[in-house]
Amino acid sequence: MSAARHLSMALAFLLGIAPASAETVTVTVQNLAFSPAEVSAKVGDTIQWVNKDKFAHTATVTNGWEVMLPVGKSGSHTLEKAGTIDYICRFHPNMKGRITVGP
C-alpha cells in the first residue's frame, strides 16, 4: 500500500470518517476477448483479469502499466487516478478493453 493511501486512511480515522471500501472488478479473458470489454470502477478499486483462454495474454496500457496473464491464471491492477484507461493484449492487439475510473 502506498504511503499516500496510508496517510489518507490515518487522516480519515482521526477525523472519524469511514473510508469508502475498495472493490474488485473482474474481467474474464476468453475466446480472444476481454469480457466485459468496458467496465467502470473508482480510484482505489482493483481490476482482476481471469485468463480462461488457451493462450497467454496481457492487459497493456500504452506508455503505462502491463499485467501478464498466463494460461489459467489471473492478474490484477489497483487504480490510482480517475480517467479513462484503454488497454490491449500485447500479444493479440485486436483484443481491446476500457476502464472508466471515477473519483
DSSP 72: T
Domain ranges of the chain: 23-102
Residues 6+ apart with CB under 8 A from 34: 27, 28, 49, 59, 89, 95, 96, 97
Q: What is the pLDDT of residue 93?
A: 97
Q: What is the pLDDT of residue 2?
A: 54
pLDDT tens-digit profile of 84-99?
999 999 999 999 999 9
Place 1 in a pLDDT band, splitting at 50, 70 and 90: low
- CATH code: domain 23-102 is 2.60.40.420
pLDDT tens-digit profile of 8-48?
444 444 444 445 689 999 999 999 999 999 999 999 999 99
Q: What is the pLDDT of residue 99?
A: 98
Q: What is the pLDDT of residue 21?
A: 87
